[in-house]
C-alpha cells in the first residue's frame, strides 16, 4: 500500500509540474499586446537582432486533406551588423562565449565553407549568382537558432536590400530531413506590396511528392516593421495547389539585450523546447500520413547539382581518401598516358581543400593528347555504393550512365571516355604480380570474419523501383537499363587495401566498411539518409 501511495503521489506531482509548465508557456506565448500595437504590428526591425515567436502550419489539399501547425522559435538577424550576448549569439565564436541560442554560418548556405560569418557566406553565394555584394549593404536573415547545440531548420529566408532600403532579392534556403539543401534566388518586383515569385521544383523535400511541380512564394517585407508573413504553395505539374505552408509571427519581436535574467530563463523554459522537437513533429506527421492516411511515398532521389548534399559521415570521408590512393596507384602504372589531379571546386577561408568536409570531390584526368576528363563526386552516397562493387569501372558505368538521374551520385563531362580510361588502367593493374604476405593467425581470423560479414551485393539507387510508387505497384512496365551490371564479387578496394596498404590502415578500413554497411542497413529501415 505504501509503495502504491508513493507511486500515486509521484504521478500527481509530475502531472502538476507538467501542467504548471504548460500554463506558464501558454501565458508567456499569448501574452497581452502592449497598448497601441495591433495583432499584425510586431515591431520587426531589420537593423536589430531579434527573437520572434512564430507559428508554422502545413495544409495539404490533396490527395487527402491534412493540416497541422506548431510553435516555431525564429530569429531575425541584420547580417551585416549582428549583435551577440549570453542569451543569443551569432556567427562562429568560441564555444564558451556562445549564447543559449546560437546562429552559426555553418548552418547556412554552403555550410560555412566560405567564411566564418553569415556576411562572408552570403557574399560568396551572391558572387556565384553573378551579383555584386556591395549592392546590398542591408541583409536580413529570418531563421531559427541552435538550442543546446541542436537545430533543424525547414527553411530560412534572406532579404537583400539596396542602400535606400528597397527590397531587391529574396533567397529561400530550403532543407529536407536528409540534411540536403537548396537555395532559390528570387528577384523582387519594382511594384510595392507583398513579394510574390515562383520557381520550378527540383529538390526533394517531402516523401509524399515527386520532384515535379513548382513553388509560389509570397512574403511580407520585414522592413515595413509589421509581422512576419511567409506563405509557400506547392503546385503539381498540372498547376493544382497541393500544399500550403505558412510561417507567421504571433507576438512582438524581442530584443535579447533588453531581457532580464529571469525573463531570459523563463523564455528559454517556455520556448527552447520547440527547437528540439521541430524535426520530431515533422517526422511524426509523415509517419501518420504514410501509415494511417496511406499516401504514396517517393523514395529519396540523389540531389541535383543545384542542391547542396548532406554532410559526409566520418567513414565516407575515410573511403574518399582510400579511393584517391587507389586512383593514384592506377595512374602511376601508366604515367606516360594519363595524369590525375584531385581538387575541390571551392576551398575554405584558410585555403585548405574542403572536398572531404563540405564540398564535392573533383577528379581531373589528363590524357597524353591533353584531353581533360572531369569526374565530380556530388553526394556522399557515392562512397556507400562504391564499396559494394567489384570494379570501379562497373560502378562508374552505373552511377554515370543510369537512365534515371535520381540515381546519379556523380557527374562527368565525358562519362564514356572516363570509363574507358579506368578500364584500361584496371587491365594494366590486373597484369601486375602481387607478392604473397605472411600473416598471423589472429589476422587471418579477423579477415575471415570480415569476409563473412561483408556484403558483396552491389548497392543501387532507388529508381525506378522501388523509388517510384507506380513502379512498386506495377502500374507501369519495368524499364531495361543498358548500364553494366556488377558481378557481386569482392570489392576492388578490398583487394587494394589488403595488398597495398599497411596493417593499421587495413584494420581501420575493416571497421569503417562494416560500419557503413551496417549504418546503410539500419537507415534503410526508416527510409535511408
| DSSP annotation string for 211-250 | S-SEEEEEE--GGG-S--EEEEEEE-TTS-EEEEEEEEE-
The set of cell numbers assigned to 496 is: 587494394
Higher-scoring residue by pLDDT: 360, 408 = 408
pLDDT of 199 strictly over 50: yes
Arithmetic mean of pLDDT, 141-146: 97
Residue corresponding to grid cell 541552435: 146
pLDDT per position as a tens digit, 258-298: 999 999 999 999 999 999 999 999 999 998 998 888 888 88
Pairing of β 361-367 and β 214-219:
unpaired
Residue 318 — pLDDT band, cuts 50, 70, 90?
very high
- The pLDDT of residue 61 is 92
- The pLDDT of residue 113 is 76
Question: Can you give the pTM of this predicted structure?
Answer: 0.84
- The pLDDT of residue 10 is 52
The set of cell numbers assigned to 208 is: 509524399
Spatial distance between the Cα atoms of 398 and 483, rounded to a whole number of angstroms: 6
Separation in Å, CA 31 to CA 25, 192, 251, 512: 10, 32, 8, 52
SS3 323: helix
- The pLDDT of residue 399 is 94
**Exposed / middle / buried, residue 426 (Cβ in 10 Å: 0-12, 13-18, 19+):** middle
Q: Edge to edge, what strands does the sheet with 361-367 contain?
A: 338-343, 361-367, 372-377, 410-412
Residue 255 — pLDDT band, cuts 50, 70, 90?
very high
pLDDT of 347 strictly over 50: no
Beta bridge partners of 195: 219
Percentages of the chain per state (helix, strand, coil), in multiples of 5: 35, 20, 40
pLDDT of 470 strictly over 80: no
Residue 436 — pLDDT band, cuts 50, 70, 90?
low
Arithmetic mean of pLDDT, 48-71: 93
pLDDT of 104 strictly over 70: yes
- The pLDDT of residue 46 is 95
Higher-scoring residue by pLDDT: 373, 157 = 157
pLDDT per position as a tens digit, 156-178: 999 999 999 999 999 999 999 89
Spatial distance between the Cα atoms of 49 and 407, rounded to a whole number of angstroms: 42
**Cα angle 514, 519, 521; round to 5:** 95
Higher-scoring residue by pLDDT: 465, 305 = 305
Name the percent of the chain lying above pLDDT 90: 54
pLDDT per position as a tens digit, 475-504: 545 554 444 444 457 889 999 999 989 999
Dihedral sign (CA 143, 145, 149, 151): negative
The set of cell numbers assigned to 526 is: 526508416
Rg of the chain over Cα atoms, rounded to whole angstroms, equals: 27
Do residues 323 and 389 touch, judged by C-beta distance below 8 A?
no
pLDDT of 205 strictly over 50: yes
- The pLDDT of residue 191 is 74
- The pLDDT of residue 351 is 36
pLDDT of 69 strictly over 90: yes
Strand intervals (E) in 31-111: 50-60, 66-78, 88-90, 101-103
pLDDT of 429 strictly over 80: yes
Which of 236-250, 282-296, 362-376 bottoms out in mean pLDDT, i.e. has the lowest?
362-376
Sequence-distant (≥ 6) Cβ neighbours of residue 407 within 8 angstroms: 301, 302, 398, 399, 460, 461, 462, 463
Which of 114-123, 129-138, 471-480 bottoms out in mean pLDDT, i.e. has the lowest?
471-480
Residue 362 — pLDDT band, cuts 50, 70, 90?
confident
- The pLDDT of residue 246 is 96
The set of cell numbers assigned to 321 is: 581518401
Which of 8-17, 112-121, 250-259, 297-306 bottoms out in mean pLDDT, i.e. has the lowest?
8-17
Beta bridge partners of 67: 59
Arithmetic mean of pLDDT, 230-242: 92
pLDDT per position as a tens digit, 20-45: 554 555 545 444 333 333 445 678 99
- The pLDDT of residue 111 is 83
- The pLDDT of residue 5 is 40
Spatial distance between the Cα atoms of 336 and 323, rounded to a whole number of angstroms: 21
Q: Which of 1-15, 129-143, 278-292, 473-487 has the highest mean pLDDT?
A: 129-143
CA 286, chain centre distance (Å): 18
Amino acid at each position: 500500500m505504501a509503495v502504491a501511495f508513493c507511486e500515486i503521489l509521484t504521478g500527481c506531482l509530475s502531472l502538476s509540474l507538467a501542467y504548471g509548465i504548460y500554463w506558464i508557456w501558454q501565458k508567456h506565448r499569448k501574452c497581452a499586446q502592449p497598448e497601441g500595437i495591433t495583432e499584425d504590428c510586431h515591431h520587426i526591425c531589420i537593423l536589430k537582432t531579434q527573437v520572434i515567436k512564430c507559428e508554422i502550419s502545413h495544409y495539404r489539399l490533396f490527395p487527402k486533406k491534412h493540416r497541422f501547425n506548431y510553435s516555431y522559435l525564429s530569429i531575425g538577424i541584420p547580417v551585416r551588423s549582428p549583435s551577440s550576448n549570453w542569451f543569443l549569439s551569432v556567427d562562429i565564436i568560441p564555444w564558451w562565449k556562445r549564447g543559449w541560442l546560437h546562429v552559426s554560418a555553418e548552418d547556412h548556405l554552403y555550410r560555412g565553407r566560405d567564411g566564418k560569418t553569415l556576411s562572408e557566406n552570403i557574399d560568396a553565394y551572391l558572387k556565384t549568382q553573378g551579383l555584386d555584394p556591395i549592392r546590398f549593404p542591408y541583409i536580413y536573415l529570418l531563421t531559427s537558432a541552435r538550442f543546446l547545440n541542436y537545430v533543424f531548420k525547414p527553411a530560412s529566408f534572406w532579404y537583400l536590400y539596396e542602400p535606400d532600403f528597397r527590397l531587391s532579392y529574396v533567397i529561400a534556403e530550403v532543407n529536407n530531413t536528409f540534411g540536403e539543401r537548396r537555395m532559390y534566388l528570387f528577384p523582387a518586383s519594382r511594384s510595392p506590396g507583398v513579394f510574390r515569385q515562383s520557381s520550378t521544383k527540383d529538390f526533394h523535400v517531402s516523401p509524399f511528392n515527386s520532384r515535379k511541380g513548382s513553388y509560389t512564394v509570397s512574403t511580407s517585407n520585414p522592413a515595413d516593421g509589421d509581422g512576419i508573413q511567409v506563405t509557400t504553395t506547392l503546385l503539381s505539374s498540372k498547376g493544382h495547389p497541393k500544399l500550403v505552408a505558412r510561417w507567421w509571427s504571433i507576438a512582438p519581436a524581442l530584443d535579447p539585450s533588453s531581457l532580464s535574467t529571469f525573463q531570459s530563463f523563463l523564455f528559454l523554459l517556455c520556448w527552447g523546447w520547440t527547437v528540439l522537437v521541430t524535426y520530431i513533429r515533422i517526422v511524426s506527421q509523415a509517419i501518420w500520413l504514410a501509415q494511417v492516411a496511406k499516401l504514396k511515398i517517393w523514395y529519396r532521389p540523389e540531389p541535383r547539382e543545384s542542391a547542396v548534399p548532406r554532410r559526409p559521415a566520418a567513414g565516407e570521408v575515410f573511403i574518399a581518401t582510400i579511393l584517391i590512393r587507389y586512383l593514384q596507384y592506377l595512374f602511376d602504372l601508366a604515367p606516360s598516358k594519363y595524369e590525375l589531379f584531385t581538387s575541390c571546386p571551392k576551398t575554405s577561408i584558410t585555403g585548405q581543400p574542403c572536398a572531404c568536409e563540405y564540398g564535392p570531390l573533383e577528379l581531373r584526368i589528363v590524357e597524353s593528347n591533353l584531353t581533360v576528363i572531369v569526374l565530380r563526386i556530388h553526394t556522399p552516397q557515392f562512397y556507400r555504393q562504391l564499396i559494394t562493387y567489384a570494379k570501379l569501372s562497373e560502378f562508374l558505368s552505373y552511377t554515370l550512365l543510369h537512365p534515371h538521374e535520381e540515381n546519379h551520385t556523380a557527374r562527368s563531362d565525358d562519362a564514356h571516355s572516363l570509363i574507358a580510361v579506368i578500364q584500361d588502367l584496371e587491365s594494366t593493374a590486373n597484369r601486375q604480380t602481387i607478392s604473397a604476405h605472411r600473416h598471423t593467425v589472429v589476422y587471418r581470423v579477423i579477415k575471415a570474419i570480415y569476409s563473412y560479414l561483408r556484403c558483396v551485393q552491389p548497392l543501387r539507387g532507388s529508381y525506378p523501383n522501388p523509388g517510384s510508387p507506380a513502379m512498386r505497384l506495377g502500374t507501369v512496365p519495368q524499364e531495361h537499363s543498358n548500364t553494366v551490371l556488377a558481378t557481386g564479387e569482392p570489392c576492388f578496394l578490398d583487394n587494394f587495401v589488403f595488398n597495398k596498404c599497411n596493417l593499421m590502415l587495413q584494420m581501420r578500413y575493416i571497421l569503417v566498411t562494416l560500419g557503413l554497411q551496417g549504418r546503410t542497413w539500419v537507415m534503410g529501415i526508416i527510409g535511408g539518409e
